[in-house]
Amino acid sequence: MKNKSMHALTPSQIVNELDKYIIGQTEAKRAVAIALRNRWRRQQVAENLREEILPNNIILIGPTGVGKTEIARRLAKLAEAPFVKVEASKFTEVGYVGRDVESMIRDLVDYAVNLVKSEMTLEVQEKAERLAEEKILDILIPPLRKNSNLGENTDAEGNNETLQNKKTREWMREKLRSGELDKKLIEFDVNTQTGLGMQVLGPFGIDDLGINFQEIMGNIMPKKKKKRKTAISEARKVIAQEEAQKLIDMEAVQKEAIERVENSGIIFIDEIDKVAGGGKGSGPDVSREGVQRDLLPIVEGSNVNTKYGVVKTDHILFIASGAFHVSKPSDLIPELQGRFPIRVELKSLTQEDFVKILTTPENALLKQYNALLETEGVKLEFTADGIKEIARIASEVNEQVENIGARRLHTILTTLLDEILFNVPDKIPASTVKVNAKFVKQKLDSIVKDRDLSKYIL
């Protein structure tokens, strides 16, 4: 499976991949690359020792908007691993009970089941499409009923009906394949698996019980058939989908999903610093230490019930992140600290970083705006001094108002390009618009100089 080969990226290859999206933060990239490769290494170790090898859970420490979440997200994509992101502070909110910390595992399994299911769907797609074609042909040219009295289906003139039917069917198949019949309407049966069980019971937190009610109900209640009438092209898709569902072994999907969660799942716990330090939050919140105590068994390794089965959390990789302005990692309870042995600090971004962030990543902001306006025939030409000026202003505003890291670039660009974005295409027809330092200054200087104004706008 291709999933396996992706795991085999070496640490330096992982860093190279991350470099395509994230500027700087080399130390953090190295740490996550090692953690990811270590899981692959662990898989190669003999079984008795493998169980002993714990994941290198990581705490990313750094100010807001410098790439913590982005690194974790890209890493998960690279690894094609099941990934969820949770906010630790969520668990302190009113209405949450400590036990709900386990919901992150359930979310992770849900994600993995979908991931595996769509992979397997792809694998059976061809077969499902073939079956769909047969089904449609059955409707268009109903097959002959076997008549046991007459051994052979021979009509009065002695023609072999079976043969005739076959011929017509093949003729129809040709037409079907050529797309000639795509728009023709056809009536067919679809299974309607009523989600009734889930809908009725859902609001009462049935999911928490870790039981797959939908499946149970689905098995008890007879599958209903419903007639549907659509164009043949649509019917093909619907029937193929149904056939694919039938071809997929859901038990195997669930098994594989749980295995992937256990061995390669990644959970990103954001805002861990908000639950560091003892004491209670205000009011009826769950205490911060309480949240840590709830997190602990999951990070340490325990069995969590999900509707797809029991999940062992021992080898899930946890990446926590926080600014740690007020609290420090040492304010976490010792057991939890011990479970996050790797600490990496991310740096504040400099003006030079901003220049690179604007231009080099595959999803760089300037590339995004260029692509947007290109659809209207307008080409934005950012000159080097223009880009430098944008970066300089971003740094300046970050210093003066509040440091929100690379997020500042978003707010600055929307302000800078506001007029262009509004006036294309009515007032600015297809053309090239030059964005140089002069243009940037003109648009932004007055706002930057006025601190109150920049607080609101930039």
Ligand X SMILES: Nc1ncnc2c1ncn2[C@@H]1O[C@H](COP(=O)(O)OP(=O)(O)OP(=O)(O)O)[C@@H](O)[C@H]1O
Chain residues that interact with Mg ion, rule: CB under 5 A: 68-69
Is the backbone of residue 155 left (phi > 0), alpha (psi -120 to 50) or beta? Answer: beta
Measured CA to CA, the distance from residue 411 to residue 37 in angstroms comes to 37
The answer to whether residue 290 forms part of the interface with ligand X (CB under 6 A) is no
Which of 261, 304, 311, 323 touches ligand X by CB under 6 A? 323
**In 371-449, beta strands by DSSP E:** 378-382, 431-435
Instruction: Kindly identify the residues of this chain, within the stretch 361-390, that bind ligand X according to CB under 6 A.
Output: 361
Amino acid identity of residue 129, one-letter, is E
Cα angle value 28/32/37 (rounded, 5°): 145
Which is nearer to ligand X, 267 or 323 (by Cβ)? 323
Measured CA to CA, the distance from residue 254 to residue 212 in angstroms comes to 12
Which is nearer to Mg ion, 17 or 87 (by Cβ)? 87
Which is nearer to ligand X, 373 or 409 (by Cβ)? 409
Size of the site for ligand X (CB under 6 A): 18
From the list Mg ion, ligand X, none, which binds 309 (C-beta under 5 to 8 Å, kind-based)?
none
The answer to whether residue 70 forms part of the interface with ligand X (CB under 6 A) is yes
The answer to whether residue 276 forms part of the interface with ligand X (CB under 6 A) is no
Which is nearer to ligand X, 293 or 407 (by Cβ)? 407
* DSSP string covering 261-282: HHHH-EEEEETGGGG-SSS--S
Q: How far is the CB of 401 from ligand X (least distance, A)?
A: 16
Query: Mask: binding to ligand X, 27-66, rule CB under 6 A, as x and -?
Result: -------------------------------------xxx
Q: How far is the CB of 405 from ligand X (least distance, A)?
A: 6
Q: Binding segment for ligand X among 285-293, 328-336, 375-383, 401-409 (CB under 6 A)?
A: 401-409
Which is nearer to ligand X, 24 or 386 (by Cβ)? 24
Could you tell me which of 409, 416, 395, 402 has the C-alpha nearest to residue 455? 402
Q: Binding segment for ligand X among 68-76, 138-146, 199-207, 415-423 (CB under 6 A)?
A: 68-76
Which is nearer to Mg ion, 32 or 181 (by Cβ)? 32
The answer to whether residue 339 forms part of the interface with ligand X (CB under 6 A) is no
Q: Write down the number of H helices and E strands in the chain.
A: 19, 11
The answer to whether residue 67 forms part of the interface with ligand X (CB under 6 A) is yes
Q: How far is the CB of 83 from ligand X (least distance, A)?
A: 14
Q: How far is the CB of 326 from ligand X (least distance, A)?
A: 14
Q: How far is the CB of 260 from Mg ion (least distance, A)?
A: 24
Strands 303-306 and 309-312: antiparallel
* DSSP string covering 234-255: HHHHHHHHHHHHHHS-HHHHHH
The answer to whether residue 68 forms part of the interface with ligand X (CB under 6 A) is yes
Is the backbone of residue 429 left (phi > 0), alpha (psi -120 to 50) or beta? Answer: beta
The answer to whether residue 254 forms part of the interface with ligand X (CB under 6 A) is no
Could you tell me which of 342, 340, 346 has the C-alpha nearest to residue 295? 340
The answer to whether residue 355 forms part of the interface with ligand X (CB under 6 A) is no
Could you tell me which of 107, 14, 33, 109 has the C-alpha nearest to residue 319? 33
How far is residue 452 from each of residues 395, 401, 424, measured CA to CA in Å? 17, 9, 30
From the list ligand X, Mg ion, none, which binds 24 (C-beta under 5 to 8 Å, kind-based)?
ligand X
Which is nearer to ligand X, 60 or 257 (by Cβ)? 60
Strands 266-270 and 83-87: parallel
Amino acid identity of residue 193, one-letter, is Q
Q: How far is the CB of 27 from ligand X (least distance, A)?
A: 12
The answer to whether residue 319 forms part of the interface with ligand X (CB under 6 A) is no
Structure-block tokens of residue 274 = 């908000």
By the criterion CB under 6 A, which residues form the site for ligand X? 22-25, 64-70, 270, 323, 357, 361, 405-407
